[in-house]
Amino acid sequence: MGLQDAYRDITVSTTKINGETVGVVEYYHDVHKRGYTETTQHIVYVFEGTLNRYHLDFAALDGQFEDLRDLFEEMAELFVYLKVLPY
């Protein structure tokens, strides 16, 4: 991701969601459209399951993202995924 010009200001961290450690990646993505640049800000929550990793990617236009950050976190807290095999 960091090798592509369209992605910038990439940060990686972890947080606790419902008692589980979850990876968090935040970045800006620029798309050039007909003479202007549209910038979106993204946050990706990475949940580690037994068989897979699950990525929740939330995005909003730059300038609107911070108003939605709490909503994105609430939605991530509601995410249910396979943590262990049922057998």
* The model's pTM: 0.82
Average pLDDT, the chain: 88
Return left, alpha or beta for 34; rule: phi > 0 is left, psi -120 to 50 is alpha, else beta. left
Task: Answer with the residue of higher pLDDT: 8 or 51.
Answer: 8
Give yes or no for residue 23 having a pLDDT over 90.
yes
Looking at the chain, the number of H-run helices and the number of E-run strands are: 1, 4
Residue-level pLDDT at 4: 73
- 28-70: per-residue pLDDT in tens? 999 988 899 999 999 999 998 777 888 999 999 989 999 999 9
Q: Where are the domains of the chain?
A: 7-77
Q: How far apart are CA 4 and CA 46, in angstroms?
A: 21
Return left, alpha or beta for 35; rule: phi > 0 is left, psi -120 to 50 is alpha, else beta. left
